[in-house]
Amino acid sequence: MGYDLHITRKADWPEPDGPEISFDEWMAIVNTDPELRIEGYVNVRLPDRSVARRPLAAWTAYSRYDSSGNMPALEFSHGNIAAKNPDREFRCKMWRLAQTLKAKVQGDDGEFYDCFGNPTRGASTTQNYWLALGRHFGFKFIWGDPIGS
C-alpha cells in the first residue's frame, strides 16, 4: 500500500467539502514547470461512481532519476494532488508546488510538511522558514512554535 502525502487546500485532505485544486489549475502547473512531465495515466473513481482517466506527472529533476523509470510521480484526485512514499527530496518539491497552488502538504495521518520536508503538527507552522529551519536542525523548543512546546 504505502504512505501518501497530499497537496491540498482543505483543512484535512480527505474531507469531501472545502476548497479544492482544480484539474485545470494542476495541468497549468504541470505544463509550465520544466521539471514535470506527463508520464502515464491512472483511472480515478469520481464521486458519481464514474471513472476518469487522469495523467501522472513525473518529476524529472529527481536526483535518483534513472532511465529504468525511477522517478516520483504526482496524481490528481478529488481536488488534491497525491504522491506515494515520497522521500525528503520529493517532499520539498511537493512543498514548493503547494506554495504555487496556495496549498499545503499533508500526510495520511494528518501531519503537515514544511519546506525542508519535515513533518509538523499544524499547517500554519509550515509557512515560516525560520521555524522550519530550526526544526530541520533538531531544535526541540523554539519560542512561539507549537511544535516545540
Confidence tier at 71 by pLDDT (50, 70, 90): confident
pTM of the entire predicted model: 0.79
User: 90-149: per-residue pLDDT in tens?
Assistant: 999 999 999 999 999 999 989 999 888 888 876 655 556 556 566 566 655 444 444 443
H or E, element range at 40: strand 36-45
- Can you give the pLDDT at residue 131? 60
- Can you give the pLDDT at residue 127? 58
Confidence tier at 58 by pLDDT (50, 70, 90): very high
> How is residue 138 annotated by DSSP?
T
- Can you give the pLDDT at residue 145? 45
- Can you give the pLDDT at residue 70? 72
- For residues 44 and 5, the model is more confident at 5
Domain boundaries, the chain: 4-113, 123-149
What is the C-alpha R_g of the chain?
16
Q: Are 43 and 53 in contact (CB under 8 A)?
A: yes
Question: Residue 26 to residues 33, 79, 111, 115, 142: CA-CA distances in angstroms?
Answer: 11, 9, 23, 20, 35
- Can you give the pLDDT at residue 44? 76
